[in-house]
Structure formats: C-alpha cells, structure tokens
C-alpha cells in the first residue's frame, strides 16, 4: 500500500472502508442466499440467527486482569471498552475517549505522527502485514510514551487494540504466549466456530464452538488433515479455496463437513490469510458459521415454492378449461376475475372485456337489481349459498343462471370478494315455464280423473276439488270451501306430519291417511302431494285414492291366511306345497316329522330327495295329470324315505294351486302316513 502524500482524512476514510469489508468477511456475517422467487402465497422462512455483539461485561471478564492495555472499537468507530491497564498506561478512561478519531487526535496530536500511525493501522487491517509496532503516544498528562500496539478483529466486528509499554516488556516470548492464551479465551466465547490453519492447511487451533459443531474434541481436530472430516468433493473445494489464501484472497465459501456421528453439517467459512513479518504466507484463519438449519429451511422453501407453483398451474388450468363459469365479484358490484366460460355465458368475447365494461353487476347484469341485493344478503348471512337469477347478456338477450357462491373474507373478517360457479339453466327454466302453462291450459282435465284431486292453499284450505274427491268425501263444492282443513282428517297428527314433509321437501309420496267422510265414517286414502306455483300463487296439488275396500280385503285375506296357517300347523296330517318344478315352497311341522328332515334342508329342495326313482316317476305322472285336467287326485299311494333311511308308506291328496289370474303356479298335498295300516292280502 502506498500511503505517501495521503491526508489524515483520506487515511481515516480508507480505514472505515476496509473495516466494513473485514466485518463482512471476518465478523461471522455470512453472505445471504439469493432471494427465491415469491410464490402465490409463500411461507416466510425464519431469519437465521446472527452472532450477538460482545458486551462490555464480556470484554471486561476477559481483559480486566490483562497486564497489557486493551481498547475495543465497534463497527461505527466508537470506543466501547478500555481495561484498567489501558487507563494506567495512557491515563484515559472510557468516557474521555469517545470515538476512534478522537483517540488518534489525543494520542498523536502532531499531524505527521498521526498520519504514520493511521497508515500502519490501515496496512495491518488490510492484509495482516505487521510493519511498525512501536509508536510514540501522548498520554493524558502530556507525557510521551513508547508503546507496542497490536491489532485484531473480534467476532462481533470490533477492532481490538493491545498496548504494551516498550520499557516494561522484558520477555517478549512470555508476553506473546500470554496474548495467545488471552485470545484463545476470547475465541472460545465466540458464537461461531473458529479455525486456524498452518501453511499446509492443517488445523493448529480450533475454538470450542467449532468442536461442538463437529462433534469432536479439540485434540482430535488439531494436527489432523481436513481430509478426515471432508468427503472427496468438499475436500476439493477446500483445497481450491485454500490455494487462494497465499494470493491474499479471502472470499467466503460454503463447505459440508461430517460430524463424528456421520451427520453432515453445512458451514460458511469466512477466511483471512496470515503472513509473517517478512510477508511470507503463514496459513489462514476463518470463522465458521453453521448454516445446516438455514439450508433445511431453504430446501423446504424451495419445495413449498414448487408446490405452490404446481397448485397455481393446476388452479389456472381448472379455471380456464372449466365448462362452467367461474368468477369473483366485489360487494361494490365489479368483477375482478372471470374465466372464458363465464364471459361467454354473459355474451362477452373475453374476461377482460367483461371486467372492463361491467361496473355495476346489479344494474347491468341482473334483470331485477333486487335479485342481486337479495342474493348478496343471503350469501353473506350463511357464508355461502345457491342462487338462481335472470340475467341480461351483453347483446340484451335474457338468460337464467344458477350460482353456487361463497364469501371470501380477509384477516380482519372484512369481505374481500364473492367467489362463484355459474351455469346456464335457461333451457331448464323455459321447460318449467312451458310445463306451468301446460298445466294451466289443461287444468280442466282433472275434472274427469277417477282419483280424488284437490288444490289447497298454503294454510290447507281447499281451493278446488274434482268430482271424484267430492264423491269420496261426500262434500259438495259449496260445502268444502266453507270447512276448515282439519275437518277432513281423522287424526290431526297425520295432517301435521304431511305439512311438515311438504315444508321440508315440497312433496309427499304414497302417504296413507285416514280421512273422515261427511257421514263420519272413516276412509283410508293414499295421498300424493306437491307444492307448486299456479298463476303466481303457491298451492298444494294433491291426489287421493280411496283404498278403504282394498284395505278391508287385505285384512280379510290376512285373517283368512292366518286361520289357514293355524289349521295347517295343528293338523296331524302332513301338508306341503311345491312349485311346478317340484321344489318345496311350504310345509307344516307334521310333514317335517314324517320326513325326518329340518326346515332348512327341505325348503327349496326337490321332492325327489324324499323317495327313490320309481316312486318319483309315479308321482310326476300323477302331478302331470292333475296339471292337465285341473282336477284333484285323491289317495295317491307312494313311499318316501326318511333322512335316517327308514321307508314310510304315505297316501297323498293332490290339488292344483292357481294365482289371482287363474294361472297354475304349483301343487298342494295333504299327506297321511299309512305305514302301520294293515295291508290287504295279496
């Protein structure tokens, strides 16, 4: 460095610039990673922790007992600490020093002396070259002293100056060892790892923090080649970087080391080359920041960004390719997003044209602005909703759309926008309208229906009833209009149940209800009702079928069958029924006892399981004759075989079973066991 001719101000400026560079490279502040592109809603990674600034108490705990004077100057040039030895040597206490500039003015009041001191100060910080070490300083009492000054940089970026009186240094080696030990104490309290390498790249010193990072003791690291801690790729990075130290280069770089347990740790090394008095390369030292957690955060951030980008692409593809309209609208009545399907639904060439031209949704899009206001109120109250509305297209034509809408709110609960899915239901609405007109046009047809039809208002009062209903209930037209609805129901709870179902679903299907005739007799009716709109009014359209006779017949039949079953279960003779294929469909307990078989074994089985082939052929011929003639056959004798193999002689009476339309569907048989009956002599 050529300092001849430079002014004090130039040297001070150069000193400040160099200190800033040293702080970036040496003070433990790793270069920040490049900021990744911001995804649609990226998670914010936590800021990696930075080493805390060393406090006055920290400096004092280390240097208060030093025999050498110690002065610390922070990044901004303010003197933040002096130890008792410094005050003893110079006479100055901390409050009297102020800034670095003020210290130089006090210690070197002569301009030329101050310029030389600043020049040596700058050269030392710039390249670590040790030139002049002895300086003449002026103490507070005005006396001049010759002092030995060494400079170093602390972990928090502070410049540490060590002063020793030249006449008091009797044993330079002892002082050097003492200073080395004191610096090691300071390095051990650093929040970052520290390593010093000799000119061969072998560690000669590491602080405790680096030992903690590596998982090794100090004696296991010092003197051991770094190849022991680095894989092949990272060793190559280190060797390439270390070769630059001899050229004075000191750019930070990243490297991955391996802990004792095999775990890989990512480090940022901020190196500084070392040179001896003759300017020869003597090795280097570096602060080591563990950025493993930061690397994990960065990787997670990258994965999150990829997920967000993928989701964004998928969302855009879904929106753009959807056949249904998708949009976002504000409470003030503007569209802020729409896909092509929604723009086409409203007759616009593009979403951009739609958003530019529509400034009031209620007035420009909805045929009735009150429909828009009502829809907004409904959706806000529930948070979402289904809304059908009549809208006006860009060309003035009308259409019906069905909206599925939800409210999207901000962090403070404010409504940001409405998000909706819309589809064209114009054809459906036109069909409904045509049906409504058709129903009005042919309403008179209900007069000729064979079932009772009534139209009631929302309260249940009869508006109109057809002749079939009048015949069924006994009330004429001039009578039923004057009656209250509950008069027609035998049980009030049935009427309440019907009205609740109508209110919930708008319809009632196949509901059996007891009505009361004018003469007070009960009528069992099958009721079907629908809530609909006729001529602008909501009414209930009901059909009633009188099933009283059918119910009575069903009850009679049920009782008859019950008596029939009871008789069959109590007779001693066996009874069975088979279908046309000869499979058992019914039998009584007596028949089960006769065959020696269980119910599940016999039901659905062919009657041949109970006999041999010869008897089976004779029985089939007999059953075929009954089927052809329709006449019963009595006293048919054949043999059956019980499950245990015992042979039994039976006598059977067979008749044909017909369904309600008269078609044959099977055979019924009454069976008597005649095994013990004496046989006539042959």
Share of the chain above pLDDT 90, in %: 32
What are the pLDDT digits (tens) for 137-149?
A: 999 988 988 888 8
What are the pLDDT digits (tens) for 553-574?
A: 877 777 777 777 777 777 888 9
Average of per-residue pLDDT values in the chain: 83
In this predicted structure, the answer to whether residue 17 has a pLDDT above a threshold of 60 is: no
**Residues pairing with 655 in the sheet:** 668
H or E stretch at 226: none
- The pLDDT assigned to 37 comes to 41
Instruction: Pick 39 or 485 by higher pLDDT.
Output: 485
* Per-residue DSSP letter, 134: E
- The pLDDT assigned to 8 comes to 42
What are the pLDDT digits (tens) for 65-122?
A: 888 889 998 888 899 999 999 999 999 999 999 898 898 899 999 988 888 888 877 7
Asked if 474 and 483 touch (Cβ cutoff 8 Å), the reply is no
pLDDT band at 259 (very low <50, low <70, confident <90, very high): very high
**Residues pairing with 135 in the sheet:** 147
- The pLDDT assigned to 29 comes to 38
Instruction: Pick 18 or 352 by higher pLDDT.
Output: 352
In this predicted structure, the answer to whether residue 330 has a pLDDT above a threshold of 60 is: yes
Range 183-207 average pLDDT: 82
Asked if 91 and 144 touch (Cβ cutoff 8 Å), the reply is no
- The pLDDT assigned to 679 comes to 62
**Residues pairing with 270 in the sheet:** 287
Range 202-230 average pLDDT: 91
Tokens 């092949």 belong to: 232
Tokens 């002892």 belong to: 174
If phi > 0 it is left, if psi is from -120 to 50 it is alpha, else beta; for residue 28 that is left
pLDDT band at 13 (very low <50, low <70, confident <90, very high): low
Enumerate long-range contacts of 43-51, CB under 8 Å, 24 or more apart.
43/301, 43/304, 45/297, 45/298, 45/300, 45/301, 46/297, 48/291, 48/293, 48/294, 48/297, 51/27, 51/155, 51/156, 51/190, 51/191, 51/192
Burial class (CB in 10 A: 0-12, 13-18, 19+), 677: exposed
- The pLDDT assigned to 188 comes to 65
Cα separation, 680 vs 123, in Å, equals 147
pLDDT band at 181 (very low <50, low <70, confident <90, very high): low
Highest mean pLDDT among 22-31, 129-138, 272-281, 334-343: 334-343
Question: DSSP states of 413-478 as a string?
Answer: S-EEEEEEEEEE-HHHHHHHHHHHHHHHHTGGGGGG-SSEEEEE-TTS-EEEE-HHHHHHH---HH
Cα separation, 555 vs 362, in Å, equals 62
Handedness of CA 237, 240, 246, 251 (dihedral sign): negative
In this predicted structure, the answer to whether residue 664 has a pLDDT above a threshold of 90 is: yes
Asked if 453 and 430 touch (Cβ cutoff 8 Å), the reply is no
Range 160-184 average pLDDT: 63
pLDDT band at 43 (very low <50, low <70, confident <90, very high): very low
């Amino acid at each position: 460095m050529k300092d001849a001719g430079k002014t004090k101000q130039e040297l001070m400026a150069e000193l400040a610039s160099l200190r800033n560079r040293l702080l970036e490279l040496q003070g433990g502040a790793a270069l920040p990673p490049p900021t990744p592109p911001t995804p649609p809603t990226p998670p914010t990674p936590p800021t990696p922790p930075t080493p805390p600034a060393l406090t006055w108490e920290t400096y004092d705990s280390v240097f208060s007992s030093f025999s050498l004077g110690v002065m610390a100057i922070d990044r901004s040039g303010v003197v933040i600490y002096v130890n008792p030895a410094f005050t003893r040597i110079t006479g100055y206490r901390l409050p009297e020093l102020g800034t670095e500039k003020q210290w130089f003015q006090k210690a070197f009041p002569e301009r030329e002396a101050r310029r030389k001191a600043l020049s040596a100060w700058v050269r030392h910080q710039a390249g670590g070259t040790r030139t002049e070490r002895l300086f003449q300083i002026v103490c507070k009492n005005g006396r001049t002293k010759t002092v030995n000054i060494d400079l170093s940089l602390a972990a928090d970026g502070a410049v540490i100056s060590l002063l020793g009186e030249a006449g008091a240094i009797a044993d330079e080696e002892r002082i050097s060892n003492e200073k080395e030990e004191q610096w090691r104490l300071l390095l051990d309290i650093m929040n970052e790892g520290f390593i010093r390498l000799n000119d061969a790249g072998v560690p000669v010193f590491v602080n405790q923090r680096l030992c903690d990072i590596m998982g090794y003791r100090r004696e296991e690291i010092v003197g051991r080649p770094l190849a022991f801690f680095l894989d092949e790729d990272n060793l190559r990075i280190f060797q390439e970087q270390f070769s630059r130290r001899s050229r004075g280069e000191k750019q930070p770089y990243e490297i991955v080391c391996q802990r004792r347990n095999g775990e890989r740790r990512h480090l940022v090394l901020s190196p500084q080359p070392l040179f001896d008095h003759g300017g020869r390369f003597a090795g280097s030292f570096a602060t080591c920041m563990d950025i493993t957690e930061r690397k994990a955060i960065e990787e997670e951030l990258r994965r999150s960004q990829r997920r967000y980008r993928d989701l964004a692409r998928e969302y855009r593809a879904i929106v753009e390719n959807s056949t249904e309209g998708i949009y976002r609208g504000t409470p003030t009545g503007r569209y802020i997003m729409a896909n092509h399907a929604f723009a086409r639904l409203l007759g616009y060439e593009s979403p951009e044209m739609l958003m530019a031209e529509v400034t009031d949704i209620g007035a420009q899009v909805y045929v009735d602005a009150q429909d828009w206001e009502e829809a907004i109120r409904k959706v806000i109250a529930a948070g979402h909703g289904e809304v059908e509305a009549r809208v006006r297209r860009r060309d003035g034509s009308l259409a019906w759309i069905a909206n599925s809408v939800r409210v999207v709110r901000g962090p403070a609960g404010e409504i940001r926008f409405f998000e909706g899915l819309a589809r064209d239901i114009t054809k459906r609405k036109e069909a409904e309208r045509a049906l409504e007109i058709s129903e009005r046009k042919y309403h008179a047809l209900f007069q000729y229906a064979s079932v009772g039809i009534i139209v009631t208002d929302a309260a249940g009062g009869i508006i109109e009833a057809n002749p079939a209903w009048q015949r069924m209930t006994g009330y004429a037209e001039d009578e039923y209009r004057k009656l209250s609805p509950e008069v027609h129901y035998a049980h009030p709870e049935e009427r309440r149940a019907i009205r609740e179902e109508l209110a919930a679903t708008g319809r009632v299907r196949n509901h059996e209800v007891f009505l009361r005739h004018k003469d007070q007799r009960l009528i069992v009716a099958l009721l079907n009702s629908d809530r609909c709109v006729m001529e602008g009014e909501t009414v209930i359209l009901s059909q009633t079928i009188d099933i009283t006779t059918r119910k009575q017949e069903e009850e009679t039949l049920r009782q008859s069958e019950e008596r029939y079953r009871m008789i069959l279960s109590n007779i001693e003779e066996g009874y069975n029924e088979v279908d046309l294929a000869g499979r058992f469909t019914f039998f009584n307990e007596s028949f089960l006892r006769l065959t020696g078989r269980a119910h599940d074994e016999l039901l659905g089985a062919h009657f041949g399981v109970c006999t041999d082939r010869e008897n089976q052929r004779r029985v089939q011929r007999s059953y075929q004759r009954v089927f052809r003639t329709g006449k019963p056959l009595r006293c048919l004798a054949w043999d059956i075989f019980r499950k245990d193999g015992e042979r039994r002689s039976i006598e059977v009476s067979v008749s044909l079973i017909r369904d309600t339309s008269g078609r044959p569907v099977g055979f019924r048989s009454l069976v008597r066991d005649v095994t013990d009956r004496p046989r006539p002599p042959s």
